[in-house]
């Protein structure tokens, strides 16, 4: 499970055999949420993060969207580099 970054105790990552659309998993204290990036940053599911944590995660994804997309390409489409 490639970790993109860890901020404010939240781990932002992909699963190694993930699928389109581009999305990121956020894990904090053993709880997970998933956000799609297309067509906009949207919460797909939340298995227990607080409203505040979800809001913070979404803000951090928006601030780091370019990095997330680049890492997605690096991991899932290395031949297109």
pLDDT digits (tens, 9 = 90+) for 32-50: 999 999 999 999 999 999 9
| pLDDT value at residue 81 | 57
Query: Which three-class secondary structure state does DSSP give residue 6?
Result: strand
Going from the C-alpha of 77 to that of each of 16, 18, 54, 74, the distances in angstroms are 12, 12, 28, 6
Query: Which three-class secondary structure state does DSSP give residue 37?
Result: coil
4-15 pLDDT per residue, tens:
999 999 999 999
54-63 pLDDT per residue, tens:
999 999 999 9
Q: What is the pTM of this model?
A: 0.92
């Amino acid at each position: 499970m490639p970790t993109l970054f860890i901020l404010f105790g939240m781990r932002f990552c992909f699963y190694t055999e993930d699928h389109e659309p581009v999305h990121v998993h956020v894990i904090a204290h053993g709880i997970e949420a998933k956000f799609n990036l297309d067509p906009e940053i949207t919460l797909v599911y939340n298995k227990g993060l607080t409203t505040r944590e979800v809001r913070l995660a979404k803000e951090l994804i928006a601030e780091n969207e370019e990095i997330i997309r680049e890492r997605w390409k690096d991991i899932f489409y290395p031949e297109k580099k």
